Amino acid sequence: MSDVQDASRHVQELASRGVRFVRLLYPDLHGIARGKLIPLEELPEAAAHGVAFATGIMFTDLHHQYLGAPDPGIPDFRAVPDLSTLRVPAWDPSVAWCLTCLHRYQDDDRYELDPRAILSRVVQRYRAHGLEPVIGPELEFYLLVPNGAGQYERYFRTLSPVYTTGPLSDPRGFVRVLLARVEDSGLHPRSAFSEYGRGQFEVNLRHGAALDAADRTFLYKTLVKECAAEFGFVATFIGKPWNDDEGSGFHVHVSCSDDAGNNRFADDSTDDGLSQLAHHFCAGVLTHLPAIMAFLNPTINAYRRIAARGLVPRYANWGLDNRFALLRIPPERGSATRIEVRIGDGAANPYLAFAAVLAAGLDGIERQLPSPPPIVGFPDDLPECERGAEIPADLQASCRALAADATLVAALGQPLIDAYLLLKQSELDRYARWVSDWELAEYVPWL
């Protein structure tokens, strides 16, 4: 069946369920959901020709500045619905959601800045080895109350809400509504609860094949922000929204299965229950960590979460069920054997973060890199030579490491790296010129 026939069949079926519009969506490089709302009848046309967007969207920073694209004239790309991702959220059955694949107009290749295509390409390389990367995302976020003057207050103020559920730590019942929506949109939530911070929550999504997991993470983050907006809140995934509360992480659990569905990171004949493949994967991630940090910790703010010394790793190391290790091996084995990458910040674009982690791990697998010994205990108590390498201290250092990492550049593509670094440099330049409230409070009284 052609895409157009398939789309026409979907139109009939969706119309009979009361759907009137389709929300076509794709992630920009920040991971923000961009797209257009189209009448349902337009879906076959969109499937045949795509819906046009200016490539400038991929070169626009969060301060509303267009930074200049390499293509003269800012040509269009077309977003073609990926009909396998169509879903009708139960709370608003008049609007279906559909992710898209981005293409240029002159050929059928995927647009080189399409984050979904970049992740798919890395996954294809695993498949060439008979492996399917599987990812389980864990995301924390804060719910804030805007005060109308451009500032935010806490949604919840009492200490120690951690691991509670219900109205004592969520007086407006936000999490219940959110969890229902996450479930009703097929994003497969596993659990939701209050985290350590006041007004901080965590929802875990079921693991799945890497692209599916990234799609669900992307839609989930969109849903959290939109659901919060309906309540009059602002939800944020940035790593360190408060000076006096815990940061928000994006923990990424990774494993690899083979064609028969066996977890190839497991090996019950070894002392630690991990296969050589798992060790090579760890070694690859640790080797390329400075570069992948640019995607896992993509903001200036992200490095404050790391510096604050909460439950956040600060050295490139791994450990068995050790929360202070950057790569933690959770205690389950057999089919649940996995590697938890704990350094990520909630603000990361899930497609680019997964693509970077998987590309780094694959380099370890392909070159059969040996993993260092695991750390035991608290890293700062260990001699310097056993702790693991220092990680980049700020966004500038991560961006430099990314630009210099030929393996990562080749895996994600030079056009993506150039566009991404252009966006990040704009952030860094604007930040370098900005006078902050800290400077006024620190210096003005006496200097």
Minimum CB distance to ligand GLU smaller for 115 or for 247: 247
Taking CB atoms, the residue at the shortest distance from Mg ion is: 202
Can you tell me the distance from the alpha carbon of 296 to that of 289, in angstroms, rounded to the nearest whole number? 9
Sign of CA dihedral 430, 431, 436, 439: negative
Asked if 161 touches ligand GLU (CB under 6 A), the answer is: no
Q: Which of 258, 269, 289, 281 is nearest to 130 (CA)?
A: 258
- Burial label for 403, CB within 10 Å (0-12, 13-18, 19+), is middle
Q: C-beta of 260: minimal distance to ligand GLU in Å?
A: 33
Half-sphere exposure (Cβ direction) of 90: Cα atoms closer than 13 Å: 11
Interacting span for ligand GLU (CB under 6 A) from 95-103, 185-193, 207-215, 246-254 = 246-254
**Footprint on residues 137-156 left by ligand GLU (CB under 6 A):** 140
Per-residue burial over 316-354, b = 16 or more CB atoms within 10 Å of its CB, e = otherwise = bbbbeebebbbbbbeeebeeebbbbbbbbbbbbbbbbbb
Indicate the residue whose CB is closest to ligand GLU: 249
d(C-alpha 179, C-alpha 327), whole Å: 28
Determine whether 260 is exposed, middle or buried from the number of CB atoms within 10 Å of its CB (0-12, 13-18, 19+): exposed
Count the residues of the shown chain that bind Mg ion, applying the rule CB under 5 A: 1
Residue 291: other Cβ atoms inside 10 A:
26
What number of chain residues touch ligand GLU (CB under 6 A)? 10
Return the range that interacts with ligand GLU (CB under 6 A); candidates 17-25, 167-175, 180-188, 243-251. Answer: 243-251
Q: Name which of 14 and 178 has its Cβ closer to Mg ion.
A: 178
CB-nearer residue toward ligand GLU: 94 or 160: 160
Binding mask 187-206 for Mg ion (x = CB under 5 A): ---------------x----
Cβ neighbours for 181, distance < 8 A, ≥ 6 positions apart: 89, 91, 223, 227
Given ligand GLU, Mg ion, none, residue 305, with its beta carbon under 5 to 8 Å by kind, binds ligand GLU
Binding mask 118-137 for Mg ion (x = CB under 5 A): --------------------
Cross-strand pairs, 340 = 253, 328
Kindly identify the residues of this chain, within the stretch 304-333, that bind ligand GLU according to CB under 6 A.
305, 310-312, 323
Q: How far is the CB of 227 from ligand GLU (least distance, A)?
A: 21
Chain residues 247-286 in contact with ligand GLU, contact rule CB under 6 A = 247-249
Q: Which residues of the chain form contacts with Mg ion (CB under 5 A)?
A: 202
Q: Which residues of the chain form contacts with ligand GLU (CB under 6 A)?
A: 140, 246-249, 305, 310-312, 323
